[in-house]
């Protein structure tokens, strides 16, 4: 079995015009591999205008357009204590044994609806607690676990013929039980 030629002679003759050298001279390979150099100023067909300011790519450039930031909303107080509640807290703090700094507010899982408020005397500054000094002069320490549940809550003191208690108006509360002892966030 003999090797078959790649192109027959007739086909080679038909395609030989493609192999002929064109009339344009090709540059030598060495000039294609030479490093590029900037053209001389005389060979440049245009001039650079010095009156056009250069664009500074640095972020500190005054020419760089700054993004507009939305103003931050003011941070809501974790708890607001009414004047009546502050007066009652001051009375409780003055009657307490020892020298409490303020009250400590937290939440605990209990009741028919999930969470209920806890109030204790604070004899030292807890390191992780949120320290809230109200305009009435009362210090309230909010436990970290309770902070997101009670942010924006208004604490009040209400007295009537049957009860005397602190009440909490919580904007985060999704529901309360019928007796008002517990709430859901």
Question: In this model, does residue 151 exceed pLDDT 60?
Answer: yes
Contacts of residue 10, defined as CB under 8 A and 6 or more positions apart, other chains included, come to none
**Each residue's pLDDT tens digit, 20-32:** 555 566 666 555 5
Question: In this model, does residue 44 exceed pLDDT 60?
Answer: no
Per DSSP, helices labelled H in the chain are: 9-19, 29-33, 83-95, 144-150
CATH of domain 79-184: 2.60.300.12
CB 88 within 8 A of CB 111: no
Q: How confident is the model at residue 87, as a pLDDT?
A: 92
Domain limits of the chain?
A: 79-184
Question: In this model, does residue 180 exceed pLDDT 80?
Answer: no
**Each residue's pLDDT tens digit, 153-168:** 888 999 988 888 888 8
- Model pTM score: 0.54
**Each residue's pLDDT tens digit, 97-126:** 888 989 998 888 876 667 778 889 989 888
**Each residue's pLDDT tens digit, 58-101:** 556 555 556 677 777 666 677 889 999 999 999 999 988 888 98
Strands in 115-122's sheet, in edge-to-edge order, are 130-133, 139-142, 102-109, 115-122, 183-184, 175-176
Q: What mean pLDDT is reported for the chain? A: 73
């Amino acid at each position: 079995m003999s090797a078959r030629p790649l192109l027959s002679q007739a086909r080679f003759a038909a395609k030989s015009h493609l192999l002929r050298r064109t009339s344009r001279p090709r540059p030598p390979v060495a000039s294609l591999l030479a490093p590029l150099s900037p053209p001389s100023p005389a060979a440049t067909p245009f001039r650079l205008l010095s009156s056009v300011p250069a664009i500074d790519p640095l972020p500190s450039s005054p020419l760089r357009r700054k993004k507009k930031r939305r103003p931050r909303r003011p941070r809501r107080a974790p708890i607001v204590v009414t004047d009546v509640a502050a007066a009652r807290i001051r009375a409780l703090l003055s009657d307490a044994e020892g020298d409490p700094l303020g009250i400590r507010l937290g939440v605990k899982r209990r009741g028919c609806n999930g969470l209920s408020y806890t109030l204790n005397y604070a004899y030292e500054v807890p390191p992780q607690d949120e320290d809230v000094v109200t305009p009435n002069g009362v210090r309230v320490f909010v436990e970290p676990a309770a902070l997101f549940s009670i942010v924006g809550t208004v604490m009040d003191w209400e007295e009537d013929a049957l009860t005397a208690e602190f009440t909490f108006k919580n904007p985060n509360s999704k529901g309360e039980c019928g007796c008002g002892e517990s709430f859901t966030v």
